[in-house]
Amino acid sequence: MFDAYEESVKKAPRKRSPWLEVWQRLRRNKMAMLGLWILSFVVFAAVFAGFIADYESVVIAQNLADRLQGPGAQYWLGTDEFGRDIFARLIHGARVSLLVGVLSVGISIVIGGALGAVAGYYGGRLDDIIMRVMDVFLAVPSILLAIAIVSALGANLTNLMLAIAISNIPTFARVVRASVLSIRDQEFIEAARAIGASDVRIIFRHIIPNSLAPVIVQGALGVALAILSTAGLSFIGLGIQPPEPEWGSMLAGGRQYLRHAWHVTTFPGLAIMITILALNLLGDGLRDALDPRLKH
């Protein structure tokens, strides 16, 4: 009898991992996979930028004899107003944009997610206090809030990440709170309370893991917004300071040469546009893949 039981267990179909099912649905979305491939290329270029082009001699050093040269065999994307290789500066600038985007959104998810989970789980007066504070932040446009923070703290990489992170906290707080409100009264939460699980354990072990789907989607879109905010702040002189390569500051430096050296601003603009497009395509695909109503 025991052998028959073992045989039936072996023949029983194994339940697939839910994340594997998400990946399978994501693979069927051609636009999402296009975004993933583009983003993978940008990440690869950023990670290996130091091997592709030397930072000091190619990215930072000026060569005025070759200034404003168009795309060609020597300089694939041309040179800027100081004779620096635009291609090399683009791939090194990708490091900055991705670093600010990922870290600032990560900070926003941790802080905003914790505030949203606490507000949604406990409700009542605590919920009102937390969400009214978030509403105050939401009343100010995120880019203006970031400008105010960077202006007060100073323009550098750390303050830039902090400013973008603070401006995105309310968005993630509201996303997590809405998800927590939809699951806090479900049976498995009541069962956890019945066996004596603490509120902290319920929030971090049961509620937050079951609220990850909308956070992942919003996180992908948030990185795109953070990259755009980084470029915008650098464009007006409140972000990464020259001669450090950053896409927004490259746009700002080349705008006065737009008529007779179109490549100086065109390629940084395309880099921003393509990266944000890839993140948006991936975010839309993740939203569809993580939607339980689309499961087959």
The per-residue pLDDT for range 82-138, each reduced to its tens digit, is 888 889 899 998 988 899 999 999 999 999 988 998 888 888 888 899 999 998 888
Centre a 10 Å sphere on the Cβ of residue 64 and count the other Cβ atoms it contains: 10
Q: What is the pLDDT of residues 137-150, one digit of tens each?
A: 888 888 888 888 88
78: Cα within 13 Å, side-chain hemisphere:
18
Model pLDDT, residue 271 = 93
Model pLDDT, residue 16 = 61
Q: How far apart are CA 135 and CA 129, in angstroms?
A: 10
Q: How far apart are CA 168 and CA 170, in angstroms?
A: 6
Q: How far apart are the first and last CA of the chain?
A: 36
Question: Do the beta carbons of residue 180 and residue 130 sit within 8 Å?
Answer: no
Domains of the chain, CATH where assigned: 23-181+212-294 (1.10.3720.10)
Q: How far apart are CA 171 and CA 167, in angstroms?
A: 8
Output Rg (C-alpha) for the chain, integer angstroms: 24
Nearest to 272 by CA among 88, 97, 27, 73: 97
Model pLDDT, residue 6 = 46
Question: Do the beta carbons of residue 76 and residue 53 sit within 8 Å?
Answer: no
Q: How far apart are CA 225 and CA 101, in angstroms?
A: 8
Per-residue pLDDT in tens (0 to 9) along the chain, 296 residues = 434 444 544 554 555 666 677 778 888 888 989 999 999 999 999 999 888 888 777 778 888 888 888 888 888 888 888 888 889 899 998 988 899 999 999 999 999 988 998 888 888 888 899 999 998 888 888 888 888 888 888 878 888 889 899 989 999 999 989 888 888 778 877 887 888 878 788 877 778 777 788 888 888 889 999 999 888 888 888 888 878 888 888 888 888 888 888 888 899 999 999 999 999 999 888 888 876 555 54
**For residue 79, what are the β-bridge partners?**
85
